[in-house]
């Protein structure tokens, strides 16, 4: 097991992601620190720095560039992820463009609403039995020198529906219906953490970091 003093920077501004990742990594003795908790040499915080341009063609590529960018910026080991929704009938869209699918700026709720509306419109003419989709999460841990320490990929399978259901979660959660008939947004936080793409990826990363520890 890794030493209990080992810290890892989690490159996200999403408190839900941070909480989920922190809980898993704590089990192997790693303490997750948010970008807001890392002060840079000029007295600013890592969360105030310009974000890297996520221009890779894959989730894995974006996770790598974010992990390397923030590891170099903070001088610490850093974990980053890139996640989104792949819809088979749409050729894998929205994919790496999931967060900016509708091209709308604004707060998270505004962007989520616009993205969901665009997805519903795109899938409306597709028969229900042909709406297979999955959430994907690619995770990467990098050192300040750019070395990749660990990578993992998790998926969460279901089908897209056109009538949102559920109030938990965020993003496309109300539109992904799982095999048991519930949407991702109808799961409790505990259920989602146990089943989700991000939960899977985090547990795989924890296993790899534990082996390194």
Integer Cα distance of 36 and 133 in angstroms? 34
C-alpha distances in Å from residue 95, one per residue of 28, 82, 131:
31, 10, 15
Instruction: Give me the active site residues, please.
Output: 82
The dihedrals phi and psi of 147, each to the nearest 5 degrees, come to -65, 130
Whether the Cβ atoms of residue 8 and residue 77 lie closer than 8 Å to each other: yes
- Residues paired with residue 141 on neighbouring β-strands, in sequence order: 79, 150
Integer Cα distance of 11 and 129 in angstroms? 37
Integer Cα distance of 88 and 186 in angstroms? 23
Q: How far is CA 114 from the centre of its chain?
A: 19
| DSSP labels, 54-118 | ---SSHHHHHHHHHHHHHHHHTS-EEEEEEEEEEGGGTT-BGGGGGGTT---SSHHHHHHHHHHH
Integer Cα distance of 4 and 53 in angstroms? 33
Q: Write out the two tokens for 211.
A: 């082996």
């Amino acid at each position: 097991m890794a030493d209990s003093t080992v810290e890892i920077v989690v490159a996200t501004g999403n408190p839900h992601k941070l909480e989920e990742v922190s809980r898993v990594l704590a089990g192997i003795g790693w303490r997750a620190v948010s970008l807001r908790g890392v002060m840079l040499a000029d007295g600013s915080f890592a969360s105030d720095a310009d974000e890297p341009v996520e221009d890779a063609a894959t989730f894995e590529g974006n996770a790598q560039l974010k992990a390397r960018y923030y590891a170099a910026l903070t001088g610490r080991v850093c974990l980053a992820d890139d996640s989104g929704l792949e819809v088979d009938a749409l050729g894998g869209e929205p994919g790496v463009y999931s967060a900016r699918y509708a091209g709308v700026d604004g707060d998270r709720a505004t962007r989520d609403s616009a993205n969901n509306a665009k997805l519903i419109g795109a899938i409306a003419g597709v028969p229900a039995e042909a709406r297979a989709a999955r959430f994907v999460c690619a995770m990467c841990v990098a050192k300040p020198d750019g070395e990749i320490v660990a990578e993992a990929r998790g998926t969460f399978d279901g089908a897209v529906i056109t009538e949102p259901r559920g109030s938990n979660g965020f993003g496309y959660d109300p539109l992904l219906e799982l095999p048991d008939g519930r949407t991702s947004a109808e799961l409790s936080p505990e259920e989602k953490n146990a089943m989700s793409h991000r939960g899977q990826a985090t547990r795989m990363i924890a296993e790899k970091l534990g082996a390194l520890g």
